[in-house]
Amino acid sequence: MTKPLLEAIQKGPLLGDGAMGTQLMLAGLEQGRCGEEWNLTHREKVLAIQRRYVQAGSDCLLTNTFGGSRIMLNRHGNGDKVAEINRAAVEIARQAFDGHPGWVIGDIGPFGGLMEPYGEFREEDVRDAFAEQAAALMQAGADAIIIETQTSLEELLLGIRAAKQAGSPCVIGSMAYDVTLDGSTFRTMMGVDPERAAEFMEEHGADIVALNCGTGMDMIRARQAVERYRRATSLPVMVQPNAGQPRLQDMKVVYDEPPEHMAGGLADVLAAGASIVGGCCGSTPAHIRAFRAVVDTYRNSCLTGSVSHYEDQTL
């Protein structure tokens, strides 16, 4: 029996996974098509991606449900398949662990629009969509729920409440920060800084404060974010930055941070106190394999007493 996620991270940092979207594209998903539908139509391809992450050393997998809310699925005519798509995603991730200990984190991404008064979406529709998705993920047996790539506290709150109401034993709120033009700091597109996000999440009952994706958020910025989160809250911290910046090469989007480079900054992120580390857009099983080595070295150095952040390093 695998321990609850919140208990496990008290014993030392865990390794998350890498990108799903860019891996689906590599597997043949066309730009603009519904990647979540593949949980039903191309199940073996989603499973193969997640198996590669487990083989590379992931302790935690995010379900392939970033766009799995009714509002997102409606754009592809799949609004009637919310429960099916989310259930299949949890089952695929669980299967990818193939009996190994591991945690399935149900993924809720942004609903993809703006709420009134800035946009045309009614708050109650977003609330209902998140509640429906969170319930489907929990009924299928997810170990936690992450509300990710968030830029506004209003939308984040709807996600946190949905996850809690669905009975998730661990709720992760994950913000997408952009480095400011002058490079002096980072905040979300809607102007939220890490301190405000951390205080807000603690106040509203999230269990882990996180960041993922964003613009210009390399490992150095990720370390700074961990430090800023930890000054603002006592909650554990999770980080999943992108593998650098996207650019076009031969008409394909490539990310410019190779595994060794990204992994090179990871020891500092762990030393700053991150409890779960992984990658977002552009990161691959090769990145996660490189991360695994750094996480293992870090855990061993804690065991031998050269780092004292974690007291007991047994899983």
Smallest gap from Cβ 152 to Zn ion, in A, equals 17
**Footprint on residues 221-240 left by Zn ion (CB under 5 A):** none
Only segment of 91-99, 154-162, 256-264, 281-289 that touches Zn ion (CB under 5 A): 281-289
Taking CA 280 as the corner, what is the angle to CA 278 and CA 283, rounded to the nearest 5 degrees? 80
Contacts with Zn ion by CB under 5 A: the residue count is: 3
In whole angstroms, the minimum distance from the beta carbon of 244 to Zn ion comes to 11
Beta-carbon contacts of residue 65 (< 8 Å; ≥ 6 apart): 36, 39, 85, 86, 89, 106, 107, 108, 109, 133, 137
CB of 19 to Zn ion, least distance (A): 7
User: 23 vs 86, which CB is nearer to Zn ion?
Assistant: 23
Task: Give residues with Cβ within 8 angstroms of 1, minimum separation 6.
Answer: none
CB of 261 to Zn ion, least distance (A): 17
Q: Nearest approach, Cβ of 199 to Zn ion (angstroms)?
A: 24
Instruction: Return the range that interacts with Zn ion (CB under 5 A); candidates 48-56, 208-216, 289-297, 299-307.
Output: 208-216
| Chosen residue from 175, 280, 288, 294 binding Zn ion by CB under 5 A | 280
Between 54 and 213, whose beta carbon lies closer to Zn ion?
213
Nearest distance, CB of residue 214 and Zn ion, angstroms? 8
Please state the closest distance from residue 295 (CB atom) to Zn ion, in A: 20
- In the complex with Zn ion, the residue whose CB is nearer, 158 or 281, is 281
The span of 59-67, 245-253, 276-284, 305-313 binding Zn ion (CB under 5 A) equals 276-284
Question: Which 8-state DSSP code applies to residue 300?
Answer: H
CA-to-CA distance for 22 and 221, rounded, in angstroms?
22
281 contacts Zn ion (rule: CB under 5 A): yes
Residue 120 is classified by DSSP as S
C-beta of 21 vs 273, nearer to Zn ion: 21
Q: Is the Cα dihedral 184, 266, 48, 245 positive or negative?
A: positive
The residue (of 132 and 212) whose beta carbon lies closer to Zn ion is 212
d(CA 272, CA 269): 5
Token pair of 143 as six digits: 């170990």
3-state secondary structure 164-228: HHCCCCCEEEEECCEECCCCCCEECCCCCCHHHHHHHHHHCCCCEEEEEECECCCHHHHHHHHHH
| Both tokens assigned to 185 | 């700091």
Please, which residue, 13 or 109, has the CB nearer to Zn ion?
109
Cβ proximity to Zn ion, 12 vs 279, nearer residue? 279
Phi, psi of 248, rounded to the nearest 5 degrees: -90, 130
Q: Which stretch binds Zn ion (CB under 5 A): 37-45, 119-127, 212-220, 225-233?
A: 212-220
274 pairs with which residues across the strands? none
Contact set with Zn ion (CB under 5 A): 213, 280-281
